[in-house]
Amino acid sequence: MNVRHPFFIYVFSFILVVIAGFTKILEFESADLLLNTTFTISVISLIYVLIRLKKSRKKYTDLAN
């Protein structure tokens, strides 16, 4: 999986979590499943972004030295 801008995936999944939260407030039947799924996607993509950020920082600091 080669994603150039994983931050956008995180933002998109966060928006889905907000939408799922509103559907939960409006008491739709599939709101729990949507909320759990989108929250999981946003957490996984956030972890991926942070790992990738750490790797790129390390790469550039190694090049600077």
Per residue, the 3-state secondary structure of the chain, as one string, reads CCCCCHHHHHHHHHHHHHHHHHHHHCCCCCHHHHHHHHHHHHHHHHHHHHHHHHHHHHHHHHHHC
Give residue 19's pLDDT: 80
Give residue 6's pLDDT: 66
Give residue 63's pLDDT: 63
- Residue 16 falls inside a structural domain: yes
Which residues of the chain are modeled with pLDDT < 50? 1
Where b means 16+ CB within 10 Å and e means fewer, 2-32 reads: eeeebeebbeebbebbeebeebeeeeeeebe
Give residue 43's pLDDT: 82
Give residue 34's pLDDT: 78
| Residue 14 lies in domain | 6-64
Number of domains comprising the chain: 1
- Residue 1 falls inside a structural domain: no
